[in-house]
């Protein structure tokens, strides 16, 4: 019963987080991308292009494209992208339609194409990071990328870039070269900012320590930081003496505490530090 409650609570948190991520993405698209005709590599970008030649609103075209891609994905890929992605892919066009009704004559926020592109990149990357961290995505061209991956054995990252660039390049048919180039630049920056938000939130430090105060440092890691450590036997190439190396992985807060303790306990300690983006392990059972 307790497990069901926890799962229900987690599902509710996921729902609110995914909805918030979709709202943030929709805000970035409506206020920054659409008024400036920024054709980033997305279904919204493709909808903006099609809206120039078809008598339909961007939100309607976005919804049609999303539904077509979801249908194609279900037929050829299966349900790999999951209910969360389906929910987001349909929610974003609905949100855009609501915004179009509320603000029918929206103008570029910054009044400058480059600044609007930067605003779009920053805001949408936050929304996408929330979605990805909840194991969801905005659907759309992600499905095209998965099709390329499945049928042409193309790496997923390359497939995402190829499908996005196809949309950006097609904008030359209806917009000027400056708009197309800014779309390509924005797509590249979006990937960088998204990586920063996703991996920056989870970044940890791998700290390798060789010290004469080994026991004190080990005790501090275990008892004060409540973290784990691994001890390796090593031999100094110059002295030939056997030494022990302590290796621990800590978050940013623990890292600061550990470095202050080592500096106070043994200023002569030899330390190497690496950034770690992801840690996979099996937690020890409690009790």
Beta strands in the chain (DSSP E): 204-210, 230-235, 242-250, 270-276
* Cα radius of gyration (the chain): 25
Quick one: tokens of 248? Answer: 């621990």
Distance between CA atoms of 273 and 229, rounded to whole angstroms? 14
* Interaxial angle between packed helices 58-76 and 82-102, expressed in degrees from 0 to 180 and rounded to the nearest 10: 170
* Averaged pLDDT, 70-85: 72
Q: Tell me if 70 sits within 8 A of 86, measured CB to CB.
A: yes
DSSP state letter for 222? I
**pLDDT confidence of residue 287:** 45
Distance between CA atoms of 203 and 146, rounded to whole angstroms? 27
**pLDDT confidence of residue 197:** 66
**pLDDT confidence of residue 20:** 92
Q: Tell me if 258 sits within 8 A of 264, measured CB to CB.
A: no
Q: Tell me if 222 sits within 8 A of 229, measured CB to CB.
A: yes
Q: What is the pLDDT of residues 213-260, one digit of tens each?
A: 888 999 999 988 888 888 888 877 777 778 888 999 988 788 888 999
User: 47 pLDDT exceeds 80?
Assistant: yes
Name the segment(s) of the chain with CATH classification 3.30.70.260: 203-276
What burial letters (b/e) apply to 19-49, b meaning 16+ CB within 10 Å? eebbebbbbbbbbbbbbbbbbbbbbbbbbbb
Q: What is the pLDDT of residues 158-215, one digit of tens each?
A: 676 777 788 888 888 888 888 788 888 877 777 777 666 666 656 788 999 988 888 8
Q: Give this prediction's pTM.
A: 0.65
Looking at domain 203-276, what is its CATH homologous superfamily?
ACT domain (3.30.70.260)
* Averaged pLDDT, 66-82: 74
């Amino acid at each position: 019963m307790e497990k069901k409650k926890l799962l229900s609570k987690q599902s509710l948190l996921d729902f609110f987080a995914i909805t918030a991520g979709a709202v943030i993405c929709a805000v970035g698209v409506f206020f920054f991308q659409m008024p400036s005709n920024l054709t980033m590599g997305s279904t919204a970008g493709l909808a903006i292009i099609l809206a120039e030649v078809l008598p339909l609103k961007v939100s309607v075209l976005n919804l049609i494209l999303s539904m077509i891609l979801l249908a194609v994905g279900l037929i050829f890929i299966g349900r790999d992208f999951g209910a969360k992605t389906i929910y987001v892919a349909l929610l974003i066009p609905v949100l855009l339609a609501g915004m179009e009704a509320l603000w029918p004559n929206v103008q570029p926020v910054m009044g400058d194409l480059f600044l609007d592109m930067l605003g779009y990149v920053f805001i949408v990357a936050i929304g996408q990071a929330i979605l990805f961290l909840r194991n969801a995505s905005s659907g759309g061209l992600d499905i095209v990328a998965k099709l390329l991956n499945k049928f042409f054995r193309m790496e997923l990252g390359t497939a995402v870039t190829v499908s996005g660039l196809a949309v950006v390049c097609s904008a030359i048919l209806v917009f000027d070269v400056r708009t197309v180039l800014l779309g390509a630049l924005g797509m590249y920056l979006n990937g960088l900012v998204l990586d920063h938000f996703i991996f920056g939130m989870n970044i940890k430090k791998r700290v390798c320590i060789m010290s004469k105060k080994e026991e004190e440092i080990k005790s501090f890691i275990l008892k004060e930081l409540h973290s784990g450590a691994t001890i390796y036997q090593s031999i100094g190439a110059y002295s030939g003496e056997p030494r022990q190396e302590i290796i621990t992985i800590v978050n940013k807060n623990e890292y600061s505490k550990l470095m202050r303790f080592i500096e106070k306990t043994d200023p002569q300690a030899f330390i190497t530090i690496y950034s770690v983006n992801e840690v996979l392990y099996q937690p020890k059972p409690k009790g």
